[in-house]
């Protein structure tokens, strides 16, 4: 089916392949329209564990726990979820845990829902204030290279990285 906003299905499937080729085996998510293809790919893949969360901060702690066991993971969330994670990011910084979150952005380019704007505008300063790197993907071509950079920074340099899938990339949602 055609995605309801943005022509994202092709690059989302490529992104899933990239994560799997990097041996990511745990996918934590809060349901999100922008991540729909990625989430469904993870649910359909018998070789990974796909976990719906009640709040995004659970995913931060889960990813840290998975690293203690030797498993690579990713947290998929929307920009509003970043606000739910802030204190849990302290665990990542204190423990120098490798961490990658892929964030679909709201509240920026062309946003039509004013409730999304405050947290969308807060994402980058908040993430950076908590000691994480913030990488933005503006075009479909940038998604894979940016995510690969994030995975390398995380799993080779023990960094925490947020990849922002910008609203210019995914399009403004009409609700």
Partner 1 sequence: MSNTRSLDRKSAVPAVVGNPDDFLIICGLAGASKDIAHLTNDGDNIFTMAGAMGGATAMGLGLALSRPDKKVLVVTGDGELLMNVGTLATVGILKPANLSILCVDNGHYGETGYQESHTQRGVDLNLIAQGSAIPITRTIDSEDQISEARQLLRDSNGASFILLRVNTEPPPSIKRSMDATERKIAFRKALLGNA
Contact between 73 and partner 1 (CB under 8 A)? yes
Q: Residue 19 and residue 127: Cα distance in Å, rounded?
A: 22
Among 46, 70, 114, 174, binds partner 1 (CB under 8 A): 70
Burial call 8-24: b when 16+ CB within 10 Å, e when fewer: beebbeebbebbbebeb
Residues 136-155 that bind partner 1 (CB under 8 A): none
Contact string 8-27 vs partner 1 (x = CB under 8 A) = ------------------x-
* Segment near partner 1 (CB under 8 A); pick from 7-15, 89-97, 112-120, 136-144: 89-97
Contact between 51 and partner 1 (CB under 8 A)? yes
Residues 6+ apart with CB under 8 A from 78: 30, 32, 34, 35, 103, 104, 105, 106
Shortest CB 158 distance to partner 1, Å: 8
Shortest CB 88 distance to partner 1, Å: 5
Contact between 65 and partner 1 (CB under 8 A)? yes
Q: Which is nearer to partner 1, 51 or 172 (CB)?
A: 51
H runs (alpha helix) in the chain: 9-21, 36-44, 56-69, 79-84, 89-95, 117-129, 140-157, 167-170
Contact between 96 and partner 1 (CB under 8 A)? yes
Residues forming contacts to partner 1 in the complex (CB under 8 A) are: 26, 49, 51-55, 57-71, 73, 87-88, 90-91, 94-97
């Amino acid at each position: 089916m055609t995605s309801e906003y943005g022509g994202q299905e092709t690059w989302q499937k490529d992104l899933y392949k990239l994560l799997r080729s990097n041996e990511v085996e745990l996918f934590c998510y809060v349901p999100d329209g922008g991540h729909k293809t990625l989430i469904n790919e993870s649910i359909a893949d018998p070789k990974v564990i796909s976990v719906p969360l009640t709040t995004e901060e659970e995913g931060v702690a889960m990813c840290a726990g998975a690293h203690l066991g030797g498993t690579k993971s990713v947290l998929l969330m929307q920009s509003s979820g970043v606000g739910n994670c802030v204190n849990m990011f302290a665990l990542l910084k204190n423990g120098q845990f490798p961490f990658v979150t892929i964030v679909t952005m709201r509240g920026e380019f062309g946003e039509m829902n004013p409730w999304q704007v405050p947290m969308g505008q807060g994402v980058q300063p908040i993430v950076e204030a908590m000691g994480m790197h913030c990488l933005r993907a503006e075009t479909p071509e940038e998604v894979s290279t940016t995510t690969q950079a994030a995975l390398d920074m995380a799993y080779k340099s023990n960094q925490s990285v947020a990849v922002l899938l910008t609203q210019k990339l995914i399009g403004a949602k009409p609700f």
